[in-house]
Structure 1
């Protein structure tokens, strides 16, 4: 493994926190309901993401749809106006993000072991860029190896967006490993492109039917560094075995 590439949303930071603050500013949703509400919100967002990206529906319509449907699942019927108001509050909160505390150690480990870092994220260019700036990601990862779907016109899980990163890194697909929280976009997308993949399944979602399997599954961010170390160690051992095999030919 020569490069480790990260998803952004709900991977590098806990996306539920800004969402929770936005919802609870307007509705008496209890903390115990928030986990299920947020998962529903993400599922409904995925349903309309491609249509909004293609221009088949407006971005505002997709925001209304995902907010209203998710809130209805936990017993709150809201107007379009309130759905947009909560969405706007959510977007404001996304300008005040904090990097999950496990990642500085992961980035330092990668630097020490000459593993290159990058980001691939789906979403509107300026919106995602604002999040990256809030997280101060350029302290660790350069803008050159940060790919935002809204800027390049290709979205995960399309193979093309992973190929763009391979081209930027000047590496082979088998040298690349992707870390993300979405099985469909992150794991299946990366594996279809010939990469390794770590599924950060901290929402404990059920794996969908798929011809692909993650190389590792992590349910807590605290476990991620250890898994990365194992994959790096395995890559080194495999490389040494291959070199020994060549020497014996």
Structure 2
């Protein structure tokens, strides 16, 4: 493990907060018992994968956000042997956004960020998504308490997206950082891990959903954690190793 790591950057969705919770609540509110035979968490996981498929198309203006919303949940239903009409897809999205307005950080994550912040650790965010939508979540979660605005980078604002290395290089330039002192925490292997490793950053794969790394994957995360407790223990260990090295 490098003893140079001193800057911690995070993804937002399903990293700093559990994104499944508002999805589950929206699903129950939207459908009741209509799809009770389906595994809701599986639908959620598949919808995330389907969203990643078309995210770059949205960023380039080839399809609009409404089409993406309908595509990702509609295809997730198809993946699980069910059908959802486009109006129902969009109605679900409206409910999902409503419950996203009620998201919050767990006590574990709050305590981690508070400790690191009090120690003067550099904390930043790199997130894919529309600027307005991601800032809505940042405000709802109260993330500005720990992350200065100048350390928050949203793809929809800067015109660069993960997993392209250029967004990480852009962040390096804006934060006066070197690649070997940066660590990135994210939940999505093909977006977060691949992007960070392409840029020669240290990578933590926060694998909440217990995904399997592809057999043909070119990049391997430096660390893998599966719970908020494991993430906290890892980042605190990295911080203290760096601190002890710098004090020598």
- TM-score computed with the length of structure 1 as normaliser: 0.90
**Following TM superposition, by how much is the alpha carbon of 1:127 offset from its aligned partner in structure 2, in angstroms?**
0.5
Equivalent residue for 1:2, pick from 3, 6, 25: 6
- Look at both structures and tell me which one has the larger radius of gyration over its CA atoms: 1
SS at 1:138 equivalent: helix
Cross-structure match for 2:189 = 183
Unaligned runs of 5+ residues in structure 2 are none
1:116 alignment partner in structure 2: 122
Q: CA deviation at 1:166?
A: 1.4
Deviation, 1:57, is 1.6
Name the structure 1 match of 2:69. Answer: 63
Q: 1:2·1:114 contact (CA, 8 Å) conserved in 2?
A: no
Aligned counterparts of 1:157 and 1:141: Cα–Cα separation in 2: 22
Residue in structure 1 matched with residue 29 of structure 2 by the alignment: 25
Of the three residues 76, 79, 83, the one matched with 2:85 is 79
- TM-score (normalised: structure 2): 0.91
Q: Which has the higher contact order (CA 8 A, sep 6+)?
A: 2
What is the CA-CA distance between 1:118 and the residue it aligns to?
0.5
Q: Distance in 2 between matches of 1:100 and 1:148?
A: 22
More deviation, 56-65/138-147: 56-65
Contact 2:204 2:221 survives alignment (8 Å)? yes
Which consecutive residues of structure 1, in runs of 5 or more, have no partner in the other structure?
Answer: 244-249
Q: CA deviation at 1:216?
A: 0.8
Q: Partner residue of 2:154?
A: 148
Contact 2:6 2:242 in 1 (8 A): no
CA RMSD, 1 decimal: 1.8
Structure 1 partner of 2:228: 221
Which is worse superposed, 26-35 or 148-157? 26-35
